[in-house]
Amino acid sequence: MMIIKGTKRITIIYFIIINFLIKVLPIYYLRAETIRMKDVYMTILLFVIFVLWLYVNNISIIENIKIIYKSLIYGENKTPFMKFLVDFFKI
């Protein structure tokens, strides 16, 4: 979608870096581990904390998804790690 919408290449590169760090590396690291019930409970707890954070900040899940989508497609850098990478590499 980012390529179709004409997103800047640097934003796409940052997106790939972020997803590699937060998705690929953890999955690779945990590939030999078995999932236990306490892992499922912790995942549910983290999701509940996220939903509570959204509630406290008066943001719906759909609105949050739209913010992330617009940030990535239009290069607005509103997501925390994307903003960090942009600021870090500007130095």
- Which one, of 17, 20, 1, lies nearest residue 72 by Cα? 1
Q: Is residue 2 part of a domain?
A: no
53 pLDDT higher than 90: yes
Higher pLDDT, 91 or 40: 40
Q: Is residue 1 part of a domain?
A: no
3 within a domain of the structure (yes/no): no
Q: Tell me which residue range forms the domain holding 46.
A: 9-90
Does residue 25 fall inside a structural domain?
A: yes
Residue 8 is predicted with a pLDDT of 87
- Domains held by the chain: number: 1
Burial class (CB in 10 A: 0-12, 13-18, 19+), 31: exposed
Structure token digits, residue 45: 């707890």
Q: What is the mean pLDDT of the chain?
A: 89
Gap between the Cα atoms of 49 and 27, Å rounded: 22
Instruction: Flag whether 4 is in a domain.
Output: no
Residue 60 lies in a domain: yes
